[in-house]
Amino acid sequence: MRYGYFDDSKREYVITDPRTPVKWINYVGTLAFGGFVDHTGGALICRQDPGLNRITKYIPQLPASEFKGETLYLRLRQGSGWRLFSPFFVPTLDPYERYECHVGLGYTRIVSEFYGIRTEVTIFVPQGDTRAIRDIRVTNVSGQAVEVDAIPVVEYTHPDALMQFTNADWVPQTMQSKLYAEASGLKVLTQYPFMSRETRVNYFTSNYPVSSFESDRRRFLGENEYGSWANPLSLRQAELSDYEALRGDNIAALLHHLGVIQPGETRRIATQLGQEESLAKALPAIQHYRQEEAVDQAFQELQRFWDTYLSRLQVQTPDADMDRMLNVHNPRQCYVTLNWSRYLSLYQLGLGSREMGYRDSAQDILGVLPSAPAEARALLCRLLQVQRQDGSAFHQFNPLTMVASEGDSREREDRPHYYSDDHLWAVLAVTAYLKETGDLAFLEEVLPYHEKDGQGRPLESGTVLDHMQRALAFTRRDCGAHGLPLLGFADWNDPVNLPTGAESLLTANLYGRALLEMIELARQRSDQEAAKAYEATYAEMKQRVSDLAWDGQWYIRYFDADGTPMGSHTNEAGQIYVEGQAWPVLSGFATPERAQMALESVRRLLNTRNGIVLSAPGYDGFDPRKGGVTTYPPGAKENGGIFLHTNPWIIIAETMVGNGDHAFEYYRQINPATRNDRIEEFECEPYVYPQNILGKEHPQFGLARNSWLTGTAAWVYCAATQHILGIQATYAGLRVAPCIPKEWDGFQVSRTFRGATYAITVKNPGHVCGGVKRVCVDGQEISGDVIPAFADGKTHQVEVILG
């Protein structure tokens, strides 16, 4: 069963049946202004922060058929009345003759036909702007002339998104709307909570005469809301009531008479939903975007942004599903995670308590470096300001206020209020940024630590390098009974929350990986002393891991405070954890034999046709001593679900032991594009990675949830491009070290790196997984597999022969 198809030439996914199993969404704009649009035109829009400055009220928990945030009604004159419908299918659910939702790069375009009317609506946010535009075209495709009205509608929320749901007294007493009618006959309907009237005003307007408007939901739906979104009673009248809401549930509905449309004729109208400090300040840009050419130009600019963004890395492999993900949808998802971290999606509701995640954003940075290094750098700077003076980091921060918090660890008084891994991910992000850009001066940039004095001034600042050194020093100090890093409240595996004193092998290995990066960086900076010191620390931790953590056929995952291992054959449940096997390979702590054995255990005990499960067997029953992981039934999320984030780590580990066949098999089995023809099992969008898929212990094995905002995006992108295809940024240049399936004849990659483009052709005449035999750059053979950074703005031909 399928609900749509990939249009590779337009770089879109096209949904052709609106009744998808769950809403499939797309993102418009950025965190600065934007949000998501679902495939039936509903939209959750906010500015700078979905928790503290939300604009539309989108309630994901309502049934799929309900109005959510925004819609468009059309009505066709029939005798003395009208036929009313929404060209988005929802909320009127009329029978459609055609329905297409084009999920594009930064835009969604819905094309539908109902009752002989074709409607095409393109929804997007102009680059760097603070408005969402809906560019609406209504065409008469019937044989007869028809009189048409168009009524776009928005429902507002209180900017404090959580307050909207927890307070039904203060919120409705403050919400107000005011009309501004221009001499031209055009109208702007403004909206704000009373206290923001002078500072922050939402507006909704169009470029077409508005004959009447409504700003109160009760009046719009009619009969004290015994009218409904599916059948708003006000739209049975000729005009809306022109009411400026003084309180209550605020909406903005604008009634436009498009007049009689002849067969084949089209009317075009564009709406703007935005926010500014004041209407006066907003007006010039409102007027600008009322011109059709301005809308067209803004849309072209958006397309140019994505052309450039994606052009930095394009591939041609023998696998079409790999190509469509690596060339379009995977880097797109990485950009979305960079913007929204785990803050706002259909599943991460952005209601304030979650915020931007420190470890999450640090990993998201890894996925955008070839295309958006400047944005990555900016986010890195924000992250490092959330680091504590002791080197550890706060778990989350609010993007608008930069106030940091301890995240879920606040839930337990008796537990540590830090996560043992957060600060270490930033070290990987900094070194990846340096390798991509060569911008070593970044290390000298001075950034504050998070602690403040009474006046809110930072107590201390340090260079980026100092921030990194403190991160490592924290973990070195913060070890438990075995000399392994203490777990803190949790490590990467969030819901395993063990009593204070537990030790984490994931953090030990992540620390090992971070140490390798620091050693390499120190050498790069000719700081031999620092390199030696880090080497000694590395050797020390390697020894401990090797002495203590081998369980016989795989690596142990944790030691409890009393020294009991978790992730061991001696446990009843949770005997083996996948991240516990990948990271000893990534850290270089595993010997080649152990690496092989650990990966074989993963294959034997954790692999399924839908992906590798996180652990097995699942914990069957709530156990407060293990924490949140036992709140899930076996096979769900971190309790033995296919938690996709971990799968690319195994892919990377397989390439590190040279097994390109396994690496690619694991890559392909989680590629969402391969699910397009069996959506009945998967249910989520086939154009993005979900966070989790129910595992083999769950009766609904194969069902995906929590799409879009997941570290899977960045890590799969890195695993595929840097480890399978093997195109790696290094301090010295661009390295080509593929590890591919033997049966491949080769592949091609175009990669822009430090101001030059590398047109790389890899040939595999001997049908091997890896091993570079010969590299030619512009026809000249070079030694080694690192191509210099030419930085000359030119394209260089690179031929690589494996064997």
Active site residues: 494
Q: Which of 449, 492, 554, 558 binds ligand GLC (CB under 6 A)?
A: 492
Between residue 510 and residue 529, which ones bind ligand GLC under the rule CB under 6 A?
none
Instruction: Give the per-residue contact string, 32-71, with ligand GLC (x = CB under 6 A; - = no).
Output: ----------------------------------------
Q: Which of 205, 207, 234, 493 binds ligand GLC (CB under 6 A)?
A: 493
Residue closer to ligand GLC by CB (options 618, 746) is: 618
Residue 433 burial class via C-beta count within 10 angstroms: exposed 0-12, middle 13-18, buried 19 and up: buried
We find the least distance from the C-beta atom of residue 714 to ligand GLC, in angstroms, to be 12
CB atoms within 10 A of CB 85: 22
Residue closer to ligand GLC by CB (options 27, 299) is: 27
We find the least distance from the C-beta atom of residue 417 to ligand GLC, in angstroms, to be 16
- Look up residue 712 and give its two tokens: 């899977």
Cα–Cα distance, 14 to 108 (Å, whole number)? 10
DSSP assignment of 745-783, as one string? -EEEEEEEETTEEEEEEEE-TT--SB-EEEEEETTEEES
Residue closer to ligand GLC by CB (options 219, 637) is: 637
Q: Which stretch binds ligand GLC (CB under 6 A): 42-50, 488-496, 551-559, 791-799?
A: 488-496
In the chain, count H helices and then E strands.
Answer: 19, 42
We find the least distance from the C-beta atom of residue 363 to ligand GLC, in angstroms, to be 8
Instruction: Give the per-residue contact string, 699-728, with ligand GLC (x = CB under 6 A; - = no).
Output: -----------x------------------
Residue closer to ligand GLC by CB (options 148, 719) is: 719
On the CB side of 633, how many CA atoms lie within 13 Å of its CA?
A: 8
Residue closer to ligand GLC by CB (options 276, 494) is: 494
Q: 635 and 690 in contact (C-beta within 8 Å)?
A: no
On the CB side of 224, how many CA atoms lie within 13 Å of its CA?
A: 0
DSSP assignment of 46-79, as one string? ESS-TTTSB-B---TTS-TTS--SEEEEEEEEET
We find the least distance from the C-beta atom of residue 333 to ligand GLC, in angstroms, to be 14
Give the residue among 281, 252, 256, 295 at the shortest CA–CA distance from 133: 295
Q: 279 and 188 in contact (C-beta within 8 Å)?
A: yes
Residue closer to ligand GLC by CB (options 120, 638) is: 638
Give the strand pairing for 690-693 and 727-729. Answer: unpaired
User: Shortest Cβ contact with ligand GLC: which residue?
Assistant: 494
Residue closer to ligand GLC by CB (options 206, 337) is: 337
Give the strand pairing for 795-802 and 756-763. Answer: parallel
Residue closer to ligand GLC by CB (options 206, 691) is: 691
We find the least distance from the C-beta atom of residue 615 to ligand GLC, in angstroms, to be 11
Rg (CA), the chain: 28
Q: Which stretch binds ligand GLC (CB under 6 A): 279-287, 490-498, 522-530, 600-608?
A: 490-498
Q: Which of 54, 187, 342, 513 binds ligand GLC (CB under 6 A)?
A: 342
Instruction: Give the per-residue contact string, 293-332, with ligand GLC (x = CB under 6 A; - = no).
Output: ----------------------------------------
Query: Helices marked H in 154-254 — which ranges?
Result: 161-166, 170-174, 217-221
Amino acid residing at 659: N
Residues contacting residue 520 through CB under 8 Å, at least 6 positions apart: 431, 731
Residue closer to ligand GLC by CB (options 358, 589) is: 358
Q: Which of 113, 129, 249, 638 binds ligand GLC (CB under 6 A)?
A: 638
We find the least distance from the C-beta atom of residue 641 to ligand GLC, in angstroms, to be 10
In the chain, the largest separation of any two C-alpha atoms, in whole Å, equals 88
We find the least distance from the C-beta atom of residue 400 to ligand GLC, in angstroms, to be 20
List Cα–Cα distances, 50 to 170, 350, 352, 695, in angstroms: 20, 5, 8, 31
Q: Which stretch binds ligand GLC (CB under 6 A): 121-129, 212-220, 489-497, 560-568?
A: 489-497
Cα–Cα distance, 201 to 185 (Å, whole number)? 21
User: Phi-psi category of 162—alpha, beta or left, where left has phi over 0 and alpha has psi -120 to 50?
Assistant: alpha
> Alpha-carbon torsion 280, 282, 283, 284, what sign?
positive
Does residue 422 belong to the site contacting ligand GLC (CB under 6 A)?
no
Residues contacting residue 604 through CB under 8 Å, at least 6 positions apart: none
We find the least distance from the C-beta atom of residue 107 to ligand GLC, in angstroms, to be 27
At 237, is the secondary structure helix, strand, or coil? coil
We find the least distance from the C-beta atom of residue 395 to ligand GLC, in angstroms, to be 8
Residue closer to ligand GLC by CB (options 70, 494) is: 494
Residue 424 burial class via C-beta count within 10 angstroms: exposed 0-12, middle 13-18, buried 19 and up: buried
Q: 159 and 301 in contact (C-beta within 8 Å)?
A: no
Cα–Cα distance, 339 to 542 (Å, whole number)? 36
Residue closer to ligand GLC by CB (options 272, 361) is: 361
- Look up residue 220 and give its two tokens: 């719009």
Instruction: Give the per-residue contact string, 665-704, with ligand GLC (x = CB under 6 A; - = no).
Output: --------------------------x-------------
Q: Which of 100, 276, 494, 683 binds ligand GLC (CB under 6 A)?
A: 494
Residues contacting residue 291 through CB under 8 Å, at least 6 positions apart: 207
User: C-alpha angle 586/587/588, rounded to 5°?
Assistant: 95
Residue closer to ligand GLC by CB (options 343, 687) is: 343
We find the least distance from the C-beta atom of residue 679 to ligand GLC, in angstroms, to be 23
Number of residues forming the site for ligand GLC (CB under 6 A) = 10
Give the residue among 15, 586, 11 at the shortest CA–CA distance from 326: 11
We find the least distance from the C-beta atom of residue 490 to ligand GLC, in angstroms, to be 8
Q: Which stretch binds ligand GLC (CB under 6 A): 299-307, 474-482, 486-494, 557-565?
A: 486-494
We find the least distance from the C-beta atom of residue 720 to ligand GLC, in angstroms, to be 20
- Look up residue 448 and give its two tokens: 């504050």
We find the least distance from the C-beta atom of residue 130 to ligand GLC, in angstroms, to be 28
Instruction: Give the per-residue contact string, 345-374, with ligand GLC (x = CB under 6 A; - = no).
Output: ------------x-xx--------------
Residue closer to ligand GLC by CB (options 166, 353) is: 353
Residues contacting residue 25 through CB under 8 Å, at least 6 positions apart: 36, 37, 38, 39, 345, 346, 685, 707, 708
Q: Look at the block and give the residue holding tokens 């971990």.
A: 646
Residues in contact with ligand GLC by CB under 6 A are 342, 357, 359-360, 492-494, 638, 691, 710
